[in-house]
Structure 1
Amino acid sequence: MSEIEEKALAGGVAGKADEVRHTPVPAWVDLAAYATEPSPEQESCVANGVCRLLADVQVNLTGSQPLWTFRSAQRILTKDGAERASHIVIEFDPGYQTLEVHYVRILRGDQAIEHARPGCFQVFRRERDIERLMLNGRLTASFLVPDVRANDILEFCCTLQGDKPIFGGKYQTWVALDAFNPTFDHRHRVLKPRGRTIASRDFNDPPHPEISVRDDVEDIRRRLVGQKKISPSAPLTPPWVFETPAFQLSEFESWGDVAGLMAGAYDSGDIPPELAADIDRIGQAFADPEQRAVEWLRFVQGELRYFFLSLGEGGLTPRDLETIWSGRFGDCKDKARLYVAGARRLGLDACAALVSTTHGVALDQVLPSPAAFDHCIVRLRLAGRSYWLDPTLSVQGGSLDQIEVPHLGWALPLAPDVSRLEQMPEHAVQHIMHCHDDWRVGPTRQAPATLRRSLEFSAWGADQIRNMIANEGETGLARGLLSQLQANWPTATEATPIEIQDDRVHNKIVLDARYTMSDCWRASDKPDQIHLQFVDNNIGTDLSGAGLAAREHDIYVGRPRRLSWLLQVEMPRDWPDARSEETHELPGLRLASRYSSDGRHVESFKELTVESWTVPRSKAESYDLLVRCAQQNILFVQASAKHDKIRPPGFQSNLNLKVSAPFVVGVLWLAIAVLRALLTTGSH
């Protein structure tokens, strides 16, 4: 399947279109020949039954609106390849783009079979992300090319016109030369007036541009032939890493230009009377600015449901306040605009801020561009300090100092005085979950065991549990906890209803659950031996392995956090004394565990601390060892089950000694009596 989706075009306003026009190739397009004969150098460009011969992108910025022409060629190798390549799919936004198809043809020997004609493409709106509550209004043009055979070459050429109006005619794009699925001949060309300045930045050594000038028009070309295929990314590669050759082009001179372009769309505007009344009630109830900021955040998080609506402006501008509030739904842009409007009415200094959920760490390495961002949050300035708030998150607890956003790196506040990116603070290590399991084990194998499980969630861990309770109810939460327990102890039943203590001020939630387990002992491989197993369902699954293959980048372990598990078991009798302790420590990561048994008390403690988002790649082997240790999440307590009583393994019963001792004494007494009688008889 060939799929074309321009993610970063440039230019001015274009008329709407919901159909595909069939036109000749524009005269300015260079239809330079490409290699059609098979060669060993093309092997890296073979996948899924096709060989990708040509990917040619040409952009014309010399007219009143941009023209973007795409040309491709693929050699069909198998029937499966024909099935994939023969379905041509093009996406475009009718709000500002038009689509023209120039040719769809098959080269078969000396024949050139043309299939493009008016009406051959069907246009429909499929909204691929609607299940994720995202609606973008883009149209899909689809054409199934008939009679495609092995050894055919399928050529296709089309042009898209127009760009997002909010860009103000400025051009910007990001071109990645996909080294994971390379094309044998990759070309990129830009035609622009000589006086139009477009900055360029390279990443991972892409081909250098060749520039020529004719009639005051610059012709900038890049070409990469025979790109070698590289192995897939190593597991846990940070999302902000640029792995393949790429280059960026942008007409935006500074981040201030980007902020100035976008800031006007987030101005407050008129606040609907009903909404103004809600804002004023918060202002009357809370005089402290920090409390006002937090309560207004929770109001927006709780009252405005999420739905991403991107129609007409490519998803870059929010709707007006009346529309947002009357529908009670919105995406990140809408929620940010609503929060900013209410915050300013409450006397707070707030503005929208753009972030990247994937490449935030690397934003200071790229050229200024609106396309660098994929999310909108809020910056609040209070007492000379910046606070970062995300109204799209579920309702958050805690004070303003405790509230965090899960985003990393740089942000662009949309304020008139902004000229550069602002770095968001590093995330503190939050103890998001502590599990305390308190077991009581009966004296016999058939005796039931009891468990009191206390789960304490803090910070964003508490926010997640609170959201789960809101969506599933306390009964649903209790049912989920019981199901997790029954995966290891099928006979587990809830002894008492779960108790929930919610401290929203300090953002902590404690769940107190009590269970009874019958028949919890399991047979061992050794005769007369049984064991009881205790399972950690949190720390053991928190990290995943990075593999032992050589890696070029650090290991991504996610948001700083701490999880711990304390297991205490009261046995029916004294258990052999034992102690052990183990620690694995890497830069930014620590796993500690200890075990002890003393009298009837058995205790185990395990704690995982993630202090930074990444672990150095040089520590990959040590990291995998730490993960394997963390995944050893089952503690076995071995026991002997002779005579149905629970005893430590290797226990030797004193029963035989107690029975045989009187017998031995009696035998000795009888022997002495007989000997004395014999001696007496002999003396007579």
Structure 2
Amino acid sequence: MEGCLTKWMSFVLSFFVCAFSMSAFSFEQFSDAPSWVAHPDIPFEHTVPTEQVQDGIYYLLVDKQEHVENNQFHSYRRYVATIVNQQGIDEFSQINITHDPSYEDLAFHKLNVYREGETQNRIDTAQFQLLDIERELESQIYNQQKNLNVLLSDLRVGDTIEYSFSTIGQNPVYSNHYQYTTNLSWSVPVERLYVQINWFEQRPLYFQVFDSQSTYDAANVVNKVDSAAGQIFVVDQSRVAPVIAEDERPVWHSPWRKVEFSDSNNWQRISDWAVDLYRQKIVASPEVSALAKDFAKLPTQKQRISAALQFVQNEIRYVGIEFGVNSHLPSLPSETLARRYGDCKDKTVLLVALLQALNINAWPALVHTEKQQTIAQRLPAVYSFDHVIAKVELEGVTYWLDPTRSYQFGSIDEIYQPDYAFALVVAEGASTLESMRQQDNFSGIEMMETFTLDESYQVPVKLEVDTIYTGWKAAQQRRKLDSDGIAHVSKSYLDYYVGEFGKTTSMAELKVIDNKQSNQFRLQEKYQLEQFWQENDNSMSGYFDTSSVASYLNIPEESSRKYPLELTYPIKVKHQHVVNFATDDWHFDDEKFTEKNDFFDFTYNVEWRQSAKQLKITYQYQANASHVDAQQYDEYLAALKRVEDYQSYSIYKSTHEGVRKSVSA
């Protein structure tokens, strides 16, 4: 988690051996700290804020220093922490430092334990092992990172541990561009935070202080000092208070303040860097051209784009070989096509090459899947992006297509693409971020539950369920069925109705109708409800609710918020209960309720057709926003409460009198 110091950065303090694929090597790179390093004092005199401590560790000093000179990139890290309770011993008994030896040299400097006024040098007694790791195997990403594991013995509650290390080197793919960002607050307290950047280059270094909601006067945080060699930037803060984040925040929102440094202040420089990486890669080999000719046989350009996209999505499996420069440098389309695998940049370059061979305007586009709209607030940097998709232009319309997504079918007009807010298009002359907002009014669910009631309460009620999924919901259901299997999915649906109505029998196998041309995924179910009717005093009642809609209208427990609340978006849901009666002695009043606001639209409609002996209850929901700002939270809660009583319906019939009907929450 970003705000948790112990797990926030790549130099982690918790041990994940069981998750690693590894082999062990000895580690012998020990040295004194580099001469350029400053040595801030450890604040041994302090009071532990025990009520704020997490994981049994209180950080006395977080010391992060960078030194850049003659395009040599040095990093130094020093951590000092006190073990507050038994949990802290478990957390700090092993230290793990991750680096990439293909371009970084790692040196370990100090390992001290302070106990009862004495200093114990533990370098000679600790076990140091360098481990090969593949931390992202489950995501099909392979890299050359190694993990230095340091195993400490004889740790006790009250001990203070200090360790430091440094690295030299930068991934050459960055072409000497520099950017560094670090937190100025976390979800845990820190006694002292020290950050120093020695910038001894001729080009300027820019900096800012920010969080997801604001930027701050950096001059009040960063002390800039000119020296003969260059510039030194220092942040020195004491008693850093924790920032406790709320759950269900949007992925782009970070409440923890950060300081950011970059040698770029415009996106043109980053664009030029990206164009250099991609320029020689987007070429159509004979194999790529032959494949494009197959797609050219389709009658329209839209169909050709869809066919090329689906080919790359489904025929080129996702595997990332991210060794050194390959973390950002794409493969040739012919190589990706031949081996039938690639990561986001490889798959995107292949798709763009195919489309360009079809005389369709297409370019790679760099995005960040988590920063999203906040990237516009950040300093331009080569580290600004974590994903590559394709921008496609056709007949004056811009499409954003992701060749790493799967289970997407149908027209490109109805293919879901997450809104990452901004993209840097890899094209000559691109100098700004481009908005990638697009309207998605097709992703959703349409469900019809048809209940057939007999004249007798003793006869089971028949239920037929017909559900159509579109957009990202269709892709989600295809993936679920492939992953879980139809037997498991069928049982989970049956279990749901057992929970709703008691004893329930499935009357037919789950029917799957996957219309890939229209990108509609349809499921049909049939059940027999043995316990639909509930006997009350002098009446029998039946109950209908709309869980498919109500799940988006849950009222949060907290009465106020400090940070934004994430909403599911885009999504639209229509849920209809059709109730067919066997006799004509029933009667219901028509009803309609509508709620429209900045966050969602909701309608509730009851329609009674006496001649058909049929009752229809229809609920419709459509999200209008991806999140609720904190200052709008009261308004959002009020809207939820207005619709609270319109998410279910009850029917009942007196066993002594005439017919009655009621609506219940």
The amino acid across from 2:581 in the alignment is M
The equivalent of 1:636 in structure 2 is: 650
Instruction: Verify: 1:592 aligned to 2:603, yes or no.
Output: yes
* TM-score, normalised with respect to structure 1: 0.85
In structure 2, what is the Cα distance between the partners aligned to 1:581 and 1:287? 46
The partner residue of 2:209 within 177, 185, 202 is 202
Q: Could you tell me which of 98, 101, 121 is aligned with 2:105?
A: 98
Would you say the 8 A contact 2:10–2:97 is kept in 1? no
Q: 1:488-527 counterparts in 2 under 5 A?
A: 488-489=500-501, 491-524=503-536, 526=537
Letter in 2 for 1:232: A
List per-residue Cα deviations over 1:642-672 (Å, max 9, x = no partner): 7xxx98469xxxxxxxxxxxxxxxxxxxxxx
Which residues of 2 match residues 603-682 of structure 1 at below 5 A? 603-624=616-637, 626-627=639-640, 629=643, 634-640=648-654, 648=659
Report 1:172-191 matches (<5 A). 172-191=179-198
Query: Which of residues 26, 35, 40 in structure 1 aligns to 2:43?
Result: 35
- Give the Å deviation of 1:157: 0.6
Give, in whole Å, the separation in 2 of the partners of 1:464 and 1:79: 43
Q: Matches of residues 87-486 of structure 1 in structure 2 within 5 Å?
A: 87-117=94-124, 120-193=127-200, 195-203=202-210, 204-205=215-216, 207-233=220-246, 235-266=247-278, 267-268=280-281, 274-283=287-296, 285-313=297-325, 315-430=327-442, 432-468=444-480, 478=490, 480-486=492-498
Q: 1:51 aligns with which of 29, 42, 58?
A: 58
Question: In 1, distance between residues paired with 2:242 and 2:413?
Answer: 48
Contact residue 539 and residue 630 of structure 1 kept, 8 A: no
Tell me, in whole angstroms, the C-alpha distance in 2 between the residues paired with 1:99 and 1:622. Answer: 53
Q: Which amino acid aligns with 1:361?
A: Q
User: Aligned partners of 1:240 and 1:370: how far apart in 2?
Assistant: 19
CA contact 2:606–2:616 (8 Å) conserved in 1: yes
Is the Cα–Cα contact under 8 Å of residues 592 and 606 in structure 1 kept in the other structure?
yes
Deviation at 1:608? 1.1
**Deviating more after overlay: 64-73 vs 540-549:** 540-549
Rounded Cα–Cα distance in structure 2 between residues aligned with 1:581 and 1:253: 55
Maintained 8 Å contact 2:604/2:646: no
Contact 1:529/1:649, CA 8 A, preserved across alignment: no
Q: Structure 1 residue 45: deviation in Å?
A: 6.2
Whole-Å Cα distance in 1 between the matches of residues 124 and 363 of structure 2?
50
Distance in 2, matches of 1:82 and 1:507, equals 54
Residues 47/587 of structure 1: CA separation in 2 closer, same or farther (3 Å cut) = same
Q: What are the within-5 Å matches in structure 2 for residues 14-25 of structure 1?
A: 19=27, 21-25=29-33
2: CA distance, partners of 1:64 / 1:374: 24
Which of 571, 579, 582 is matched with 2:581 structurally? 571
**Structure 1 pair 594–73 and aligned structure 2 pair: CA distance change class (3 A):** same
Kindly provide the CA deviation profile for residues 132-169 of structure 1, in whole angstroms up to 9, marking residues without a partner as x: 33333321111122222222211111001111211111
Match of 2:20?
none
User: CA separation of 1:500/1:39 partners in 2, compared to 1, >3 Å: closer, same or farther?
Assistant: closer
Q: 1:480 to 1:347 in 2, by over 3 A?
A: farther
Q: Using structure 2 for the length normalisation, give the TM-score.
A: 0.87
Quote the offset at 1:200 in angstroms: 1.0
Of stretches 361-370 and 317-326 in structure 1, the one that deviates more from structure 2 is 317-326
* Higher Cα radius of gyration: 1
What's the offset of the Cα at 1:464?
3.2
**How far apart are 1:185 and its partner, in Å?**
0.6
Query: Equivalents in 2 of 1:426, 1:383: separation in Å?
Result: 16
Secondary structure of 2:274's counterpart equals: helix
Equivalent position of 1:666 in the other structure: none
Q: Which moved more, 1:456-465 or 1:401-410?
A: 456-465
- Compute the displacement of 1:463 (Å): 3.4
C-alpha spacing 1:634/1:136, structure 2 compared with 1 (3 Å):
farther
Counterpart contact for 2:510–2:524, Cα < 8 Å: yes
Q: Distance in 2 between matches of 1:172 and 1:532?
A: 63
- Taking only the aligned residue pairs, the percentage that are identical comes to 21
Decide whether aligned partners of structure 1 residues 598 and 401 sit closer, same or farther in structure 2, where only a CA change above 3 A counts.
Answer: closer
Q: Is the 8 A contact 2:243 2:255 kept in 1?
A: no
Gaps of 5+ in 2: 12-24
SS at match of 2:581: strand
Question: Is residue 25–residue 102 contact of structure 1 (8 Å, CA) maintained in 2?
Answer: yes
Q: Which residue identity does 2:207 align to in structure 1? A: S
Tell me the amino acid that sits aligned with residue 398 of structure 1.
G
Structure 2 SS opposite 1:313? helix
Q: CA deviation at 1:249?
A: 0.9
- Aligned residues of 1:396 and 1:463 also touching (Cα < 8 A): yes
CA contact (8 A) 1:185 1:224 kept: yes
C-alpha distance in structure 2 between counterparts of 1:602 and 1:289, whole Å: 46
Query: How far is 1:5 from its partner?
Result: 4.1
RMSD across aligned positions (CA):
3.1
Contact kept? 1:67, 1:160, Cα under 8 Å:
yes
Amino acid corresponding to residue 215 of structure 1 in structure 2: A
Check conservation: 1:586, 1:615, Cα contact below 8 A: no
The alpha carbon displacement at 1:374 in A equals 1.6
Partner of 2:79: 72
Q: CA deviation at 1:355?
A: 0.9
Q: Tell me by how many angstroms 1:545 deviates.
A: 4.3
Question: What do the CA deviations read for 1:26-59 (whole angstroms, capped 9, x no partner)?
Answer: 111111213101237x567633322211001111
Q: Secondary structure at the match of 2:456?
A: coil
| Superposition deviation, residue 434 in structure 1 | 1.1
CA distance 1:307–1:481, change in 2 (3 Å): farther
User: Alpha-carbon deviations, 1:427-470, whole Å to 9, x = none?
Assistant: 33335211111111112222121122221223333333344455
- Which of 620-629 and 95-104 deviates more? 620-629
1:581-607, CA deviations, whole angstroms, 9 ceiling, x for partnerless residues? 433332131222233556543331111
- Secondary structure, aligned partner of 1:309: strand
C-alpha separation between the residues in 2 aligned to 1:99 and 1:151? 30
Question: Which residues of structure 1 form unaligned runs of 5+?
Answer: 8-16, 651-684
Among 541, 553, 562, the residue aligned to 1:552: 562
Q: Distance in 2 between matches of 1:73 and 1:271?
A: 55
Q: Which moved more, 1:580-589 or 1:91-100?
A: 580-589
Whole-Å Cα distance in 2 between the matches of residues 19 and 452 of structure 1?
Answer: 66
What is the identity, as a one-letter code, of the residue corresponding to 1:192? W
Q: Is the 8 A contact 2:288 2:333 kept in 1?
A: no
AA matched with 1:590:
D
